[in-house]
Amino acid sequence: MKWVTRKRIQVNRAATAWLVRRFIDPRAEFLFVDPDQVANVQAAEGALGFDAPGARYPHEDGQGRCSFEILVDEHCPDDAALKELARIIHGADLKDLGAAPECPGLLTISRGFPLVARDDRETMEKTAFLYDALYASLKQRRAPP
Mean pLDDT of the residues in the chain: 91
Segment 54-82 mean pLDDT: 96
pLDDT at 103: 56
Give CA–CA dist 43/48, Å, rounded.
9
DSSP structure class, residue 22: I
Segment 45-66 mean pLDDT: 95
Q: Is 7's pLDDT higher than 50?
A: yes
Segment 25-30 mean pLDDT: 97
Please state, as a whole number, how many other Cβ atoms lie within 10 Å of the Cβ of residue 95. 13
**H or E stretch at 29:** strand 29-33
Least confident window among 41-45, 73-77, 90-94, 141-145: 141-145
